[in-house]
Amino acid sequence: MPVAAGPGPAGRGRRKPVRSRVRHGSPSCADYGCTRPECIAAARRDRARRTSELKAGRPARVSSAEASARVRQLQETGLSAADIAEISGVAVTLIRRLLRPAGKQPARIHRATADAILGIPPTSVFRRDRLLPGLTDAGRAAASLQDLAERGWPTSFLAAELDTSTHTVAVIRSRERRRLTLDLDLRIQRLAALLFASQPADHGIAAHRSRRARTAARQRAPLVRSSGLDLAHQPEAES
């Protein structure tokens, strides 16, 4: 397959395939040498998440068995590999590898990849131009999570309250994931309504953690909001 050098000065020693579906704003894009701020920020978040998981004794990679089974289950509902990649944000090439026969699949995958795939409800049905009930636009959830961060609510606290991963909270908040399950959207809105009426200190969150959350939120606010405007002008996001 033809390849093209990554946009960065050295490309980090890797070259990006011409037909790659890796999008700007994902850690993989920065790995190919892209120097866009959103790609570099995504890579930093990804490294920080992996470091945190390792310190907590959680391996960065897990068995691919459960994710592979979910991908096959989704395929049986009518989703293609490209559909699953679009919903989860995972590269389509990896989705196709997970669909290979037993013994030819990758044995282990990143925990974040598994979380993204397992976060897709098995009853999802995708059609060429729109998602039917089960999934919804992530814009409202992204805005709520960003507002909470600006009020000092740490990502780890929100993830625990939502019973999801810090990675999932981060990619929704940064608008890297355009859709999410209706159930998670409802949980985010309910949590936001509860937390907007209280303060982080009321939940035992130390002042320095709140300050760190607010600082990070303010730094990414212009990028997050501009991403929201870009999505709002795309045809499939219009009402």
Q: Residue 96: how many CA atoms within 13 Å on its side-chain side?
A: 5
Q: Residue 19: how many CA atoms within 13 Å on its side-chain side?
A: 4
CA separation (Å) from 189 to 3, 15, 144, 193? 43, 41, 7, 6
Tokens representing residue 88 in the block: 């989860």
Task: Name the DSSP letter for residue 2.
Answer: -
* Tens digit of each residue's pLDDT (9 = 90 or more) over 20-48: 545 666 666 776 678 888 778 877 877 77
Helices H / strands E in the chain, number of each: 11, 8
204 vs 77: which has the higher pLDDT:
204
* Tens digit of each residue's pLDDT (9 = 90 or more) over 45-59: 777 776 776 676 666
Q: Quote the pLDDT of residue 182.
A: 79
Residues 6+ apart with CB under 8 A from 5: 11, 15, 16, 33
Q: Report, as an integer, the average pLDDT of 212-217.
A: 91
Q: Quote the pLDDT of residue 22.
A: 56
* Tens digit of each residue's pLDDT (9 = 90 or more) over 125-166: 544 344 444 677 888 899 999 999 999 999 999 998 888 888
31 vs 167: which has the higher pLDDT:
167
CB atoms within 10 A of CB 156: 15
Tell which residue, 221, 219, 206, has the closest CA to residue 153. 206
Residues 6+ apart with CB under 8 A from 78: 125, 126
Inform me whether the pLDDT recorded for 177 exceeds 70.
yes
Tell which residue, 154, 173, 151, 161, has the closest CA to residue 224. 173
Tell which residue, 135, 213, 127, has the closest CA to residue 170. 213
Q: How confident is the model at residue 227 (pLDDT cuts 50, 70, 90)?
A: low
Calpha distance 62→81 (Å, rounded): 21
* Lowest mean pLDDT segment, chosen from 77-91, 108-122, 203-217, 221-235: 221-235
Q: Quote the pLDDT of residue 149.
A: 93
* Tens digit of each residue's pLDDT (9 = 90 or more) over 83-121: 788 777 778 888 999 998 888 888 888 877 887 788 777
Q: Quote the pLDDT of residue 9.
A: 35
